[in-house]
Amino acid sequence: MPTLICGSVAYDTIMVFPDRFKHHILPDKVHMLSVSFLVPEMRREYGGCAGNIGYNLHLLGGEPVIMATVGQDFGPYADRLKTLGMRQDCIRVIEDQYTPQCFITNDLDDNQITAFHPGAMGESHHNRFDHVAGLKLAIIGPDGRDGMLTHVRELKAAGIPFIFDPGQAMPLFSGPELLDCVAAADYVALNDYEAALMEEKTGKGIADLAGMVKALIVTRGGEGSSIYVGGKEITIPVAKAAAVLDPTGCGDAYRAGLLFGIDQGWDWETTGRLASLLGSIKIASRGGQNHKFDQASLRADFRTAFNAELPAW
């Protein structure tokens, strides 16, 4: 069954400064900051929330339909999606814009200086999904503000259940706007910081927000995650990772697990554990889309992590 994934498709340029920022930033001069860092190590990754979620859902055997706006430099990403066999019919190219870009510089203490250029993402409200046959599930991830609001309204009007996942785009919305989006959604996914921000902006606690949807999911990094459903909290444990190399895209991998479990009709304990496992697999590799798994390896890893079996699909 096709699953619509609304959100960003981006290039992540990641650089490593082989020193510590604190050695080169003078505290008494931050009002006139002008610094330059030599970064001999650099890599370019395929990313963006929608791109990462789609990649993981594709590995699971789902049919992701990424809906995003990209720019004139999208060619290499398009070639990658074609090689993977992933649909591109809901990806719109804006020729006078660039594909969203994230520029990240890390130092030896894993501090980050990040700059994000939204580029074509600001045109996401022009995207449509009318031509996608058999669409029964969707997720709205971080995207252009107008695009997110438009897709909330359109998915609600079409009767297509969806996860509202505002992520780092949350500051773009007022409290009432967030409440409208939650009320229209079937599910909400947040990390623990975003959950606290949602409570602050809306004036409603997690229990109240969870009561507005079928399920509300809060991820807590190394402390696992919680799924609030039916007036109770289901605690999802962390799956131990083979290595902890890069958290970039772990939340997106988790969300792909949620989408797959919902699509399969699995219970929330199983769905949450699959999502947790995908996050742990992702964190063991650098970049948002360089990890791999298949059904056999996933079943074995699930058995090891949770002493339980994944249902057949």
Q: How high is the pLDDT of residue 31?
A: 80
Per-residue pLDDT band at 202 (split at 50, 70, 90) = very high
Query: Which are the contacts of 205, defined by CB distance < 8 A and separation ≥ 6?
Result: 199
The DSSP result for 262-280, as a single string, is HHHT--HHHHHHHHHHHHH
**What φ, ψ does residue 163 adopt, rounded to 5°?**
-95, 130
pLDDT single digits (tens) 146-200: 999 999 999 999 999 999 999 999 999 999 999 999 999 999 999 999 999 999 9
Q: Among the residues of the chain, which ranges form H helices?
A: 49-60, 75-84, 145-158, 175-184, 192-202, 206-210, 250-264, 268-283, 295-306
Note whether residue 93 is domain-resident: yes
Residue 207 has pLDDT above 90, yes or no: yes
| CATH at residue 61 | 3.40.1190.20
Q: What is the largest CA-CA distance in the chain?
A: 61
Mean of pLDDT values over 80-87: 98
Mean of pLDDT values over 282-307: 96
Domains of the chain: total: 1
Note whether residue 34 is domain-resident: no
Q: What is the CA radius of gyration of the chain?
A: 19
Note whether residue 242 is domain-resident: yes
Residue 26 has pLDDT above 90, yes or no: no
**Structural domain boundaries, residue 241:** 2-10+49-100+119-306
Note whether residue 38 is domain-resident: no
Distance, in Å, from the CA atom of 233 to the CA atom of 295, rounded to the nearest integer, reads: 29
Q: Is 216 exposed, middle or buried (0-12, 13-18, 19+ CB in 10 A)?
A: buried
Note whether residue 33 is domain-resident: no
Residue 204 has pLDDT above 80, yes or no: yes
Note whether residue 143 is domain-resident: yes
Buried b (16+ CB within 10 A) or exposed e, 71-101: beebeebeeebeeeebbbebbbbbeebbbbb
Torsion of CA 189, 87, 118, 203, to 10 degrees: -20
**What φ, ψ does residue 231 adopt, rounded to 5°?**
80, 10
pLDDT single digits (tens) 54-65: 999 999 999 999
Note whether residue 139 is domain-resident: yes
According to DSSP, residue 173 is labeled S
CA distances for 102 relative to 10, 19, 107, 144, angstroms: 7, 21, 16, 15
β-strands 137-140, 112-117: how paired?
unpaired
Q: How high is the pLDDT of residue 110?
A: 75
- Contact indicator for 117, 98 with CB cutoff of 8 Å: yes
Mean of pLDDT values over 77-81: 98
Note whether residue 222 is domain-resident: yes
Per-residue pLDDT band at 259 (split at 50, 70, 90) = very high
pLDDT single digits (tens) 106-151: 889 878 888 999 999 999 999 999 999 999 999 999 999 999 999 9
pTM: 0.94
pLDDT single digits (tens) 304-313: 999 999 999 9
Looking at every residue in the chain, the average pLDDT score rounds to 95
